[in-house]
Amino acid sequence: MKLLLHACCGPCSLEPTRLLKAAGHDITIYYANSNIHPAEEYQHRLATLRAWASAEGFDVLEGPYNPAIWENVCGRIGDAAIADVERARAEAAANSRLQSVTDTQAEGAGENERADSESASDAVSGRSRANAHTAVAASACDKSNGAEHASQASLTDSTPAGEHVNSNAPAESAPLRAAVLSVDPARREARCRACYRMRLEETARVAAERGFDGIGTTLSVSPYQYTDVIREEVERAAADAGVAPVFEDFRPYYDEATRRSRQLGMYRQNFCGCRISDLEAAAERAERKAERAAAKAAERAAHADERAAEKAALARHKAERAAYDQKQARKRAILKALREQGK
């Protein structure tokens, strides 16, 4: 079959092209990836793909690069999902601050009520005790009111200028990294589906115009992609364009593709391609780094007593050795003195 194979990059093309060629397909590679960000990254991946394909005897066609269209179709889906997470986190933070104020006020009111109750009880017990306890109650009331005002002042001081506790503005925007990792998986999948569709529709259109029999893609080699969604979009785009879909799940060959690309010294990117996937990948790397640091800290804490005991034992050994050395030095000094006297 004369096959137009959509490719996202060089490393992901290694195994799919090998397998499809072995199956008898006549392959032309189509690089259509308006999702890749920034433009320098797009060119770097294309150059890597061209260099490898030329050595292997594959032709490479380049599709239009329209990041603005990608932003309008796919980017806004991702941005909206992240914005919703940030908005929800901001609202939760604002509600937490409001609850803190309410709790502080309730605590102050409770202390006032207890002080009033004590004052009334003391009045029944006698004038002298009443006077004494009234003074105590007054002092307690003053302290309670002072604590309440101090708490409210502290809250006001921690609020940025021009912002109010009851406002809709977030008290403190959540880190973008945390927001990216908190996006609903279904909305992330929706963004990726739109991206697949955009690129595969373009591939199918060109295939129909240039007389190719079918289309395929190298996207399914990655275990980080939505394989079932890719299958659906390949089949849908092919059907709409009147060409045959050629889909294979290449994930079992991902490790081999990784090994070969490293052996060949190919450029290997660390994110899928779009700016949002770049954020996701960076966030996941940072999260793994934090997890490793936490695990190391926990391990150190778990063995802290052992290390302290070892350190104490070493200190005792050094002290004992020093004491022994001093004792031996004194013996040598005494023997030397005796020898001097014998002369």
Give pLDDT tens digits for 246-276. 999 999 999 999 999 999 999 999 999 999 9
pLDDT classification of 158: cutoffs 50, 70, 90: very low
Q: Which residue has the tokens 């770097």?
A: 44
Helices (H), the chain: 14-22, 39-56, 67-70, 76-125, 127-158, 176-181, 185-209, 227-241, 254-263, 275-302, 304-342
Task: Give residue-wise pLDDT tens across range 181-229.
Answer: 788 999 999 999 999 999 999 999 999 999 999 999 999 999 999 999 9
170: Cβ–Cβ under 8 A, 6 or more apart, which residues? 86, 87, 89, 90, 91, 93, 94
Rounded CA-CA distance 56/18 in Å is 10
Burial class (CB in 10 A: 0-12, 13-18, 19+), 108: buried
Q: Count the Cβ atoms, other than its own, within 10 Å of residue 54.
A: 11
Give the mean model confidence (pLDDT) for residues 85-92. Answer: 84
Task: Check pLDDT > 70 for residue 155.
Answer: no
Task: Give residue-wise pLDDT tens across range 44-82.
Answer: 999 999 999 999 999 999 999 999 999 999 999 999 998
Write down the pTM of the prediction.
0.67
**One-letter amino acid for residue 243 of the chain:** V
Q: Is the separation of the CB atoms in 237 and 200 below 8 Å?
A: yes
Rounded CA-CA distance 133/334 in Å is 78
Q: How many CA atoms, within 13 angstroms, populate the side-chain half-sphere of residue 247?
A: 19
